[in-house]
Amino acid sequence: MEFNLILVGLAGVIAAATPIVFATIGETITEKAGVTNLSVNGTIILSAMTGFAVATSTDNLWLGFLAGAFVGALVAAIVAFSSITLKQSQVAVGFVLTLMCRDLAYFLGNPFMGLSGPRVPPAFEIPLLSKIPILGTLFFNQDILVYLSFLLIIFANIYVYKTRPGLSLQGIGERPASAYIRGTNVNKMRYIYTILGGALVGVAGPMYSLSVKAGWKGTISGLDGIGWIVLAIVIFGGWNPLRGSLGAYLFAFLQWLGLVLQTSLPGIPSQVLQVAPFPLMILTLLLVNIGNAEWVDRTIMGLPENVRPAISRLLRSMKTNPPSSLGVPFENE
C-alpha cells in the first residue's frame, strides 16, 4: 500500500517534469548550435498564457500547443536575428526578452485570468507495457504529453549523436569555421536550431497552462523562475539531451520530496520550500564549475602527492564543458 503510494507519487514526478524536459531539450539544441537563448523564463510564461488563451478561445487544445510553439519560435527568432545578423550580445537581448515576455503575458493575459479552459486528456494505460510491475505504473500509465516527451528524449539523442545533421549541429557549436569549410551554412543552421529549440521551449508553456498547472492566474501562475531552472539544467546536463532530461526528472523529484516532507516539517512556510530549487540550482552549478576556478588549481598543486591525482580526477569528472563556440558569433572572413 505504502509502496504503491510512493510509486504513484513518482509517476507524478515524471508527469510534472515533462514540460521541463521539453524546454531543456529545446534549449540544449539551441546551445549546441552555439547560441544561448536566455529568454526561456519569459518565453515559458508568455507561451503558457498564449496557449491557454488560444485553447480557451478556440476550444481547441492542440491549437493552444501550436500557439505556444509559435510564440517560442518567434521569441527565438528575435534572439537569432539580433545576435546572428545584428551581432548584439545574446545575453543582453535574451535578458530583455525574458523580462518583456513576462510583462507581455501579464498584460495580454489579463482578460483570461481565472477562466476555466480545456485540459489535456487524462492518463491512459498502454496495453501490455503498463502491466510490467513497477515500470508499468511509472512510465506507461501517463498522459499523451509524457509519452511524447519519451519519444522526444530518444529522438533528440539519436539525432544529435548518430545522424549526419546531428554531427554537423555539434560541429557548428564547437568550431563553426571547420563546419563552414565542410559546406555547412553556419548562420542559417544557427537560425534553424535557435528557432526549433525556441519552439520546443514554447511547447512547455501550454503544457503547464493546459495540463500540469492548468489555467492562467497571472502573476500567481507559479511559472516565474522555471525557465531559469531550465537554463541551469542545460548546464548541469553537460549539453547532452539525455543527461539534461535526467536533470529535469531529478529536479521534479526533489520538488516532490519537498512537498512530501512539508507535512512532517510544519514550521517551514510553503513559500520557503517553493524556492528550495534555487539554492539547489546554485549548488549544482557550483559543483560542475568549481573545477574551473583558478584558486582550486593552486590549492590542488599544494596538496600532498598521494591525494592530488584523486582529487583532481574527481573535480574533472564533475566538470561539464559547454560547446566551445557558445555565444561566439561566426563570420566567414
Subset of residues 32 to 51 that bind another protein, contact rule: CB under 8 A: 38
The nearer residue to another protein, 14 or 93, going by C-beta atoms, is 93
Residue type, 198: G
Long-range contacts of 259-267 (CB under 8 A, 24+ apart): 260/9
Q: Is 302 in the site for another protein (CB under 8 A)?
A: yes
- What are residue 125's DSSP bridge partners? 141
The minimum distance between CB 133 and another protein, in angstroms, equals 35
Query: 22 and 207 in contact (C-beta within 8 Å)?
Result: yes
Q: Which of 30, 37, 184, 194 binds another protein (CB under 8 A)?
A: 184
Cβ atoms of residues 259 and 80 within 8 Å: no
Query: Does 181 engage in binding with another protein (CB under 8 A)?
Result: yes
- The CA angle 267-271-277, to the nearest 5 degrees, is 105
Angle at CA of residue 16, ends 12 and 20, nearest 5°? 150
Q: Which amino acid is at 201?
A: V
Residue 15 or 196: which CB sits closer to another protein? 196
Quick note: the x/- pattern for another protein over 191-210, rule CB under 8 A, is --------------------
**CB 110 to another protein: min, Å:** 4
Q: Which of 4, 264, 316, 317 binds another protein (CB under 8 A)?
A: 316
The nearest distance, CB 5 to another protein, in angstroms, is: 29
Nearer to another protein, 98 or 137 (CB): 98
What's the start-to-end Cα distance of the chain, in Å? 67
Q: How far apart are CA 186 and CA 322, in angstroms?
A: 18
Centre a 10 Å sphere on the Cβ of residue 321 and count the other Cβ atoms it contains. Answer: 10
Determine which residue in the list 63, 143, 289, 311 makes contact with another protein, applying CB under 8 A.
Answer: 289
174 interacts with another protein by CB under 8 A: yes
- Shortest Å, Cβ 252 to another protein: 17
Closest of 81, 71, 126, 78 to residue 104, by C-alpha = 71
Sites for another protein among residues 2-21 (CB under 8 A): none
If the CB atoms of residues 199 and 235 are measured against another protein, the closer one turns out to be: 235
CA distance 126 to 252: 23
Minimum Å distance from CB 315 to another protein?
Answer: 11
Q: At what angle do helices 241-264 and 277-289 cross, to 10 degrees?
A: 140
Do residues 155 and 223 touch, judged by C-beta distance below 8 A? no
Binding-residue pattern over the window 131 to 170 for another protein, x denoting contact by CB under 8 A: -------------------------------xxxx-xx-x
Binding mask 84-123 for another protein (x = CB under 8 A): -xxxxx-xxx-xxx-xx-xxx-xxxxxx------------
Selected from 80, 156, 179, 186, the binder of another protein by CB under 8 A is 179
Distance CA 69, CA 65 (A): 6
Q: Which of 13, 48, 199, 232 binds another protein (CB under 8 A)?
A: 232
Binding flag, residue 236, another protein (CB under 8 A): no
Extract the C-alpha cell encoding 31: 546551445
For Cα atoms 134, 252, 235, give the angle at the middle one, nearest 5 degrees: 120
Residues 231, 246, 252, 326: which binds another protein (CB under 8 A)? 231
List 134, 290, 307, 318, residue binding another protein (CB under 8 A): 290
| Cβ neighbours of residue 246 closer than 8 Å, sequence gap 6 or more | 237
Selected binder of another protein within 285, 311, 327, 330 (CB under 8 A): 285
CB of 29 to another protein, least distance (A): 17
* The three three-digit cell numbers of residue 255, written as one number: 520538488
